[in-house]
Amino acid sequence: MRSQTLPQELIRAKRDGEALSPEAIGELVRGISDGSLSDAQVGALAMAVFLNGMDAAETVALTEAVRDSGDVLAWHGLGPGLDLPGPVLDKHSTGGVGDLVSLVLGPWVAACGGFVPMVSGRGLGHTGGTLDKLEAIPGYDIAPSRERLRTLVREAGVAIVGQTAELAPADRRLYAIRDVTATVESLPLIVSSILGKKLACGLDALVMDVKSGSGAFMPTPEKSRELAATIAEVASCAGTPTTALLTDMSQPLAPCAGNAVEVREAITLLTCERTGEKTGGRLLEVTRVLAAELLLAGKLADSRDAALALLDEQLTSGAAAERFARMVAGLGGPADLLERHDRYLPRAPIVRPVHAERSGRVTRMDTRGVGLAVVALGGGRRAPDDTIDPAVGLTGIAALGEPVGGERPLAWVHAASEAEAEHAAARLRAAIEVNDVAAGDVALPTLIQDVIRREAP
| Catalytically active residues, by annotation | 90-93, 130, 178, 193, 197-198
Distance CA(326)–CA(305), nearest Å, equals 28
Distance CA(385)–CA(360), nearest Å, equals 41
- 3-class DSSP assignment, residue 103: helix
Distance CA(153)–CA(167), nearest Å, equals 17
Among residues 111, 112, 128, 108, the alpha carbon closest in space to that of 120 is found at 128
CB count within 10 Å of CB 358 equals 10
Contacts of 59 (CB under 8 A, 6+ apart): 187, 188, 191, 192, 230, 234
Q: How far is CA 370 from CA 86, 379, 398, 434, in A?
A: 40, 12, 11, 14
Distance CA(105)–CA(261), nearest Å, equals 17
- 3-class DSSP assignment, residue 243: strand
Among residues 204, 210, 207, the alpha carbon closest in space to that of 190 is found at 210
In the sheet that 360-365 helps form, which strands lie side by side, from edge to edge?
403-404, 360-365, 432-435
Characterize 226-253 residue by residue with b for buried, 16 or more Cβ atoms within 10 angstroms of its Cβ, and e for exposed.
ebbbbbbbbbbbbebbbbbbbbbbbbbb
Distance CA(158)–CA(109), nearest Å, equals 8
Alpha carbons within 13 A on the beta-carbon side of 19: 10
- Is the Cβ–Cβ distance between 351 and 238 less than 8 Å? no
What size, in residues, is the chain?
A: 457
Distance CA(412)–CA(415), nearest Å, equals 10
Q: Where are the alpha helices (DSSP H) in 18-86?
A: 22-34, 39-52, 56-67
